[in-house]
Structure 1
Amino acid sequence: MSLKNKLNRMKKHIIREEAEPVDKAPLNELPEDALPHADQWGAIGAAPYVLDEDYCIVREKRYPLDHIHGSYSFRDAVRAVKAWQDFDGEHPLSARGLSPQDLFFFDTETTGLGGGAGNTIFLLGHARITESEVVVTQHVLPRPGSEIPLYHSFLSKVDYTTLVTYNGKAFDWPQVKTRHTLIREHVPKLPSFGHFDLYHGSRRLFKERLGSVKLVNVEKEVLGFHRKDDVPGYLAPMIYFDYVERRDPEGIFKVLEHNELDILSLITLYAHLSLTLLNPGEPESFEVGRWLQYTGNKERARTLFQKIVDEGDEGNDQALHLLALELKKEKDFEQAAKLWGRIGEEAPAKWQKAAYIELSKLHEHRFKDLDRAKQYAERAVPLVREGRESDHLQHRIDRLLRKMEKQ
């Protein structure tokens, strides 16, 4: 029977609202040769999930909330969710109104990095925080063509509105949505404030410092977690195809372990990002300020930039510039000019240039001092790149000269 026909036949099973609960069957309820090395699967907490004479494999593992993963325990994620309850602004990572039990930490392993129906998901992993523990669940595709029990077992537990992923908005969840037409019909569109993608948060806070924000780099440099004997993600497809061919699960167990670590790191990374946003300190305070400013939390951002300026922390010049921009928007031009004037000769060229150009604008349009406006524009000349930026600056200087001639 074709996959399409099987999907149509089983449509009633996949609609979650109408689905009857299907228990994981004991190993002895499957044909004797259906799951080779069943004892090894059982030893790692895995069992078959049987549906319409087909099955997938579901594994469950539990951790106490006090379990340490790098520099954090899972209880820190509980603390982070509670801390969000006092946050009165909007933010993509805000868990205000949610409980720790609402979050659904999710990651997949696939047969390739490309999109489209030809790319098969062979492992769906997720974790939930309960009042006393973290429960990790993994759904394994034992062979191509067994997607129905795989997705049935997964969809019976998934929470679409509170996904926590790492680049899942661009990859993992779209893969689930596009794998099959029938499945896609029952996976709703992600709401804009219902999916916490920690990859974007990591780029905002760590990109400048780390360069690469691959999860393994963030684990080592930010979370204090170091993997040992981990299977690289790019090898997962080859290991899966080897398992399908030989049925020996030794390699696929390593892929499950890799996926499990990814999921556990999502929990502690959410804790770190949240606690850093709500109580920023070095080395990320400036980046936190920029993110708060970008998300509309201007008062919080301004307070943080002012703190950086007052304490002379790293990012002082950037903070001066962004704080001055906020004052300019509020029409406090005198104070904005004073802040831009504090960006000294030893500041990076980027911030010197920005300060000189803004001072030139203020003196031309607000203070009506064309000579000072031209002086500041000329100071910026050696700091700009050839091309459009240089042309715009020269146009400003030429316009100031014409104005001065008419005085």
Structure 2
Amino acid sequence: MSIKHKLNRMKVHLNTGNGDVKAKEVREPALKQTEIPHYDEWQEYGARAVFMEEEYCLIREVSYPLTHRHGKYTFDMLLDIVRIWNESDLSHPLSAKGIQADQLFFFDTETTGLGTGAGTSIFLLGYAFIEDGMVKVRQHFLPRPGYELPFYKTFFDNVQYEKLVTYNGKSFDWPQVVSQHTMLRGQLPKLPRFGHFDLYHAARRLWKNKLDRVKLAVVEEEVLGFKREDDIPGYLAPMIYFDYVDRHDPEAIFKIMKHNEQDVLSLISLYIHLSALLLNQEFAEHEDSFELARWFSVLKERNRAIQSFERGITESAEEDVLTVKFHLANEHKRSGNLRAAAELWEEAAMSNRSETKALSYLELAKYYEHRVKDYDTALSHAQAALDTVVKNQIQKAALKAGELQKRIERLERKCLQMLERIGK
């Protein structure tokens, strides 16, 4: 029977009223290993059963050479990236300084629902790691609700790593694991304590204005150059799982496991790519320098921010160049180089974007008033800022018309005082 036909048959498992998928109550006698349905197919797919008393889970492992290419990158580049992190002075949330490549743990789950509320549980735990000179993907599969003890115990017995790497795992995957651990904590090893690199937040910061969506599958194709073939979308995972619980045919489950396998492998390539951008490695395409510079700015990495903004000027479309120069000017201001900042604000004030224009005039007004003490020029720029705000009806806290009017009135008084002193 074709996968397409089976998916159509599985639609009975979807509750179209509220989108939640509910597990059916399963009442079956415990199975012996020889009685596991389709066990020969599981073994052929690289899985083995692990029993704990009358319960069991299935564990699959597959290995890839470090020379294997996933999208733009081969896995051996992860070793190079970790080495460069350890040699770098960059302090960053994604820094691997102090750890080795084989201490990274790339993790993803498949669940019975798309939310985090009650009724959603994990049925597949997948993770990739480096061991014995290979990238290994290990997956733990829950064959039926109620067999959580061997499912989670075999997982926690194997996750002694320094850094967890996920995609939205801080909000979704790992809290689900912690919740299950809480319910079974008297029977499981202690919850491991490690750092967490959530690459979703990095992807949003760099590509939310560039990509329609920052789902991992989109980032894979648009950024990493990896296109999946014959992939089953993750949102079908719940109904495929419940069909398996009912019928025990693993054919569609194998497709979900392949989907999960690609997820964790993509995390390796994505971590390589993000790190290469941050560490300014030549093998990474630097088309994202502007957003990268803004990230450095938030982290107060001034020199790196300035370098990235400067690179962003050459990368940007013509209509974006003056906006990038405005941000570069602000970074020079934070670094104390006000003269360089003023030259860039003068250029940015010519922007066709009203907000950039008004903010540039405001910064020039501040510069000429407080630094140069040229109140006439400062007044001219302040008036230009107010005119731009009023004309374009700009609503922004930093550009309130009332505050700009107060600045203008203060500068007018200073100009008058200056004339009076000259007259004396």
Shorter-chain TM-score bucket reads: 0.7 to 0.9
Q: Measure, in 2, the Cα distance between the counterparts of 1:206 and 1:265.
A: 16
Deviation readout 1:265-323 (Å, 9 max, x if unpaired): 001111111112112653112222222222232222223334545x5755643443233
Contact 1:167 1:199 in 2 (8 A): yes
Please name the residue that 1:203 is paired with.
204
Query: Do structure 1's residue 396 and structure 2's residue 404 form an aligned pair?
Result: yes
Moved more, 149-158 or 131-140: 131-140
Q: Measure, in 2, the Cα distance between the counterparts of 1:187 and 1:354.
A: 53
Point out where structure 2 has 5 or more consecutive residues left out of the alignment. Answer: 1-30, 418-424
Q: In the TM superposition, what are the counterparts of 1:346-365 in structure 2 within 5 Å?
A: 346=351, 348-365=353-370
In 2 relative to 1, CA 312–140 (structure 1 residues): closer, same or farther, beyond 3 Å? closer
How far has the Cα of 1:180 moved from its partner? Answer: 4.4
Query: Do structure 1's residue 144 and structure 2's residue 152 form an aligned pair?
Result: no
Letter in 1 for 2:345: W
Q: Measure, in 1, the Cα distance between the counterparts of 2:232 and 2:118.
A: 25
Q: In the TM superposition, what are the counterparts of 1:276-295 in structure 2 within 5 Å?
A: 276-279=277-280, 281-295=285-299
Contact 1:160 1:188 in 2 (8 A): no
Q: In the TM superposition, what are the counterparts of 1:135-284 in structure 2 within 5 Å?
A: 135-159=136-160, 161-183=162-184, 188=191, 194-279=195-280, 281-284=285-288
Q: In the TM superposition, what are the counterparts of 1:67-82 in structure 2 within 5 Å?
A: 67-82=68-83
Letter in 1 for 2:405: I
How far has the Cα of 1:211 moved from its partner? Answer: 3.2
Deviation readout 1:14-68 (Å, 9 max, x if unpaired): xxxxxxxxxxxxxxx93543x1000110110001111122101100011111111
Contact 1:109 1:123 in 2 (8 A): yes
Q: In the TM superposition, what are the counterparts of 1:306-385 in structure 2 within 5 Å?
A: 306-308=310-312, 311=314, 316-343=321-348, 345-346=350-351, 348-380=353-385, 381-382=387-388, 385=393
Q: Measure, in 2, the Cα distance between the counterparts of 1:352 and 1:139.
A: 56
Contact 1:49 1:58 in 2 (8 A): yes
Contact 1:61 1:136 in 2 (8 A): yes
SS at the partner of 2:400? helix
In 2 relative to 1, CA 388–275 (structure 1 residues): closer, same or farther, beyond 3 Å? closer
Moved more, 175-184 or 385-394: 385-394
Please name the residue that 1:7 is paired with.
none
How far has the Cα of 1:175 moved from its partner? Answer: 0.8
Q: Measure, in 1, the Cα distance between the counterparts of 2:396 and 2:206.
A: 30
In 2 relative to 1, CA 390–298 (structure 1 residues): closer, same or farther, beyond 3 Å? closer
Q: Measure, in 2, the Cα distance between the counterparts of 1:188 and 1:129.
A: 22
Contact 1:60 1:135 in 2 (8 A): yes
Please name the residue that 1:124 is paired with.
125
Q: Measure, in 1, the Cα distance between the counterparts of 2:286 and 2:332.
A: 24
Q: Measure, in 2, the Cα distance between the counterparts of 1:123 and 1:370.
A: 68
In 2 relative to 1, CA 344–365 (structure 1 residues): closer, same or farther, beyond 3 Å? closer
Q: Measure, in 2, the Cα distance between the counterparts of 1:363 and 1:184.
A: 64
Q: In the TM superposition, what are the counterparts of 1:31-50 in structure 2 within 5 Å?
A: 31-33=33-35, 35-50=36-51
Letter in 1 for 2:356: W
In 2 relative to 1, CA 159–352 (structure 1 residues): closer, same or farther, beyond 3 Å? farther
SS at the partner of 1:143? coil
How far has the Cα of 1:171 moved from its partner? Answer: 0.8
In 2 relative to 1, CA 79–259 (structure 1 residues): closer, same or farther, beyond 3 Å? same
Query: Do structure 1's residue 299 and structure 2's residue 307 form an aligned pair?
Result: no
Please name the residue that 2:65 is paired with.
64
Q: Measure, in 1, the Cα distance between the counterparts of 2:279 and 2:336.
A: 29
Q: Measure, in 1, the Cα distance between the counterparts of 2:233 and 2:141.
A: 18
Contact 1:117 1:180 in 2 (8 A): no
Please name the residue that 1:13 is paired with.
none
Equivalent residues, number? 375
Please name the residue that 1:100 is paired with.
101
Contact 2:366 2:378 in 1 (8 A): yes
